[in-house]
């Protein structure tokens, strides 16, 4: 049985002391592939560096809503650099993570929207899917996706357990990626949301080093723990863990064209 962790941040400082050791352990424990996800210019560069060093790691690059600069001028310069990175590196499989976050940032909503739309346009030019981060911005996220055709579709990463978002996201042709929160004991509607998503649209991820699943909540997360997310989906769907592992692996390869 092999797993594909579709979103992790192994470039994070929390792995500075043992990154190589952890990556070797990951690969030896049936995590056959994973994506090192960019979220800033520096983070995207580090993600690409990791993917170029290890055959089984792929990368995304983009500017998240929590990492956009304060001015449009600086944003456009940054996005030019992101597009250059994506063009020049064959192991970049998506533009992301991009989107809207009104939990951490309420003062720059319009600039967040512009950054999101510009990166959708970038993904279309490069014929790449997008990886979407959305937090407390469901309606604006959906409105932008409905008004701006996303040629190669993409993924709602660490998808919020919001019925409207999942329902409309599926209608628009996007994949839904589940992470540690579906295993949390206080995650009241996780089962219902999992049931809403057909097997051919589900991805699994850890969002390492954050959001460790039960029973490891509170510890540093890494891609080896993606099996706990797969196990939760298997229990809710009433199918074998191996089936979840196989179909989510296949789904990740399809959406990221690997």
Percent of the chain clearing pLDDT 90 (strictly above):
95
**Confidence at residue 91, expressed as pLDDT on a 0 to 100 scale:** 98
- Is 90 exceeded by the pLDDT of residue 105? no
Q: Half-sphere exposure of 23 toward its Cβ, with a 13 Å CA cutoff? A: 22
Rounded mean pLDDT, 226-245: 98
In terms of Cα–Cα distance, which of 24, 11, 35, 12 is closest to 177?
35
| CB crowding 155-168: b at 16 or more within 10 Å, else e | bbbbbbbbeebbeb
Rounded mean pLDDT, 204-221: 96
Q: What is the pLDDT of residues 32-77, one digit of tens each?
A: 999 999 999 999 999 999 999 999 999 999 999 999 998 999 999 9
Rounded mean pLDDT, 174-188: 95
Mean pLDDT of the chain: 97
The continuous run of DSSP H or E covering 93 comes out as strand 92-101
């Amino acid at each position: 049985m092999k797993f594909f962790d579709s979103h992790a941040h192994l470039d994070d400082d929390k792995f500075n002391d043992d990154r190589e050791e952890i990556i070797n352990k990951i690969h030896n424990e049936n995590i056959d592939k994973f994506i090192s996800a960019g979220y800033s210019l520096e983070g995207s560069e580090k993600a690409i560096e990791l993917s170029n060093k290890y055959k089984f790691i792929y990368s995304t690059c983009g500017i998240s809503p929590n990492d956009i600069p304060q001015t449009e001028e600086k944003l456009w310069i940054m996005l030019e650099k992101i597009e250059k990175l994506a063009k020049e590196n064959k192991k970049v499989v998506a533009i992301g993570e991009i989107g809207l976050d009104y939990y951490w940032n309420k003062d720059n909503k319009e600039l967040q929207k512009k950054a999101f739309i510009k990166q959708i346009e970038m993904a279309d030019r490069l014929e790449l899917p997008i990886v979407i981060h959305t937090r407390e911005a469901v309606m604006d996220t959906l409105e932008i996706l409905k008004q701006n055709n996303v040629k190669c579709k993409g993924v709602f990463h660490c998808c919020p357990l919001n019925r409207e978002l999942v329902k409309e996201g599926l209608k628009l042709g996007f994949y839904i990626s589940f992470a540690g929160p579906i295993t949390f004991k206080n995650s009241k509607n996780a089962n219902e949301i999992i049931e809403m998503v057909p097997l051919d649209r589900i991805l699994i991820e850890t969002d390492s080093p954050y959001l460790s699943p039960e029973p490891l909540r509170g510890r540093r997360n890494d891609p080896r723990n993606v099996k706990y997310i797969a196990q939760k989906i298997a229990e809710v769907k009433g199918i074998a863990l191996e089936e979840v592992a196989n179909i989510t692996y296949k789904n990740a390869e399809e959406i990221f064209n690997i």
